[in-house]
Structure 1
Amino acid sequence: MIRPATPADLSQLCKMVHALAAYHGDTATATVANLQRDLFGPSPWLHALVFQGPRRLQGYAALTQLARVQFGQRGMDLHHLYVCTDARGDGIGKALLAASLDYARSKTASYVTVSTLPGNAIAQAFYLAQGFQPAPVAGLRYAFDLVGKP
């Protein structure tokens, strides 16, 4: 069953966030407190959907808002899509993706983006099979670290 995440899910959700980061070779530093703030705080930053299995969560999708201001378009970025290793191949990823697209439509988004690492052929094939089209980033992207700077 797919449903919006609740505060009771945060511990399991945090473990899955860490598992996805490890899969990509990253060391996650997200905490339950971070997820509480970003999903359920006074200014929610993310929306998460979870796949509830018989005994535990088996996957999640995390979305965040985007915009193409010059075109007057709202969008969503599917920032994370994760299915637990032992639950893969059961259609959970497809179901979470479909629910994510439905959620984006409910928020009047006109597009959804998702990114993969260049070498992640499995994810690339999955998104192409679900109707996504390649949308290479044009130009350069810059970042400014606000932590510890005036």
Structure 2
Amino acid sequence: MRIGLVSSNQHEPTIEVLCEINAYYNPSSPASKETVRQHARENLLSPNSPHRLVVAEGKDGRVVGLAALTFAYSIVEPEMDRRTQCQLKELYVCSSERGRGIGRALMAWVAAHAKERGCSRIEWPVKASNAIGIAFYESLGARLVEDRLSYRLAGSELSELACQGNGVREAASLETSSKPGRLG
């Protein structure tokens, strides 16, 4: 098995895995392969993407697992040994390949890569109902962050708050443009 950052010759096999991930999370209405391909090419595999995709390739050349990472600088921890953090957005092993150590190997590669980048930690969300995933992460030595919760703003609540934000931005723009000597 080979693990590394996705290369251009692995894009199409990676798209196959992304289709499987999409179907896993959206079993009643998975996206079409073309929609997944377009999203991957325009966003996930783009040189401008904040994500770095890491793939595990089997002996037969198939992509059998994937991790998606982003790196961020801490806002509140400026110390050199704590300022860079790795966010694991996704860890996925193809259903036909589970139980073969691929997830552990991907996480070990991610940990080494994060350390090389100066990261002091790797953080990721996991569904509270994912007992198998939680047990796996704990077997790696990861621990639940007791003092953190995850929130989501979506749908009509997101739209409603965005409308309020647009009003605030418009008011600030008007205020700035009405001051003498200032361009709006």
Which TM-score band (shorter chain)?
0.7 to 0.9
**Are 2:69 and 1:69 aligned?**
no
For structure 2, which runs of at least 5 residues remain unmatched after alignment? Answer: 167-184
For structure 1, which runs of at least 5 residues remain unmatched after alignment? Answer: none
Against the structure 1 CA distance between its residues 115 and 32, is the aligned structure 2 distance closer, same or farther, given a 3 Å change threshold? same
Equivalent position of 1:52 in the other structure: 57
Give runs of aligned pairs for residues 28-43 of structure 1, distance below 5 A.
28=31, 31-43=36-48
**Are 2:90 and 1:80 aligned?**
yes
C-alpha distance in 2, partners of 1:111/1:134? Answer: 13
Conserved 8 A contact 2:22-2:31: yes
Alignment identity in percent?
Answer: 26
C-alpha distance in 2, partners of 1:103/1:89? Answer: 23
1:93 to 100, 103, 110: 103
CA deviation string 1:103-130 (max 9, x = no partner)? 1111111110111111000000100110
CA RMSD of aligned residues (A): 2.4
Equivalent position of 1:122 in the other structure: 132
The Cα shift of 1:138 comes to: 4.3
The Cα shift of 1:14 comes to: 2.0
C-alpha distance in 2, partners of 1:28/1:75? Answer: 31
Against the structure 1 CA distance between its residues 94 and 43, is the aligned structure 2 distance closer, same or farther, given a 3 Å change threshold? same
C-alpha distance in 2, partners of 1:131/1:28? Answer: 35
The Cα shift of 1:86 comes to: 1.5
Against the structure 1 CA distance between its residues 92 and 119, is the aligned structure 2 distance closer, same or farther, given a 3 Å change threshold? same
- The size of the alignment, in residue pairs, is 147
Against the structure 1 CA distance between its residues 24 and 32, is the aligned structure 2 distance closer, same or farther, given a 3 Å change threshold? closer
Against the structure 1 CA distance between its residues 46 and 102, is the aligned structure 2 distance closer, same or farther, given a 3 Å change threshold? same
Equivalent position of 2:181 in the other structure: none
For 1:130, the aligned partner's letter is L
Conserved 8 A contact 1:76-1:111: yes
SS at match of 1:111: strand
TM-score by length of structure 2 reads 0.69
Higher RCO (Cα < 8 Å, 6 or more apart): 1
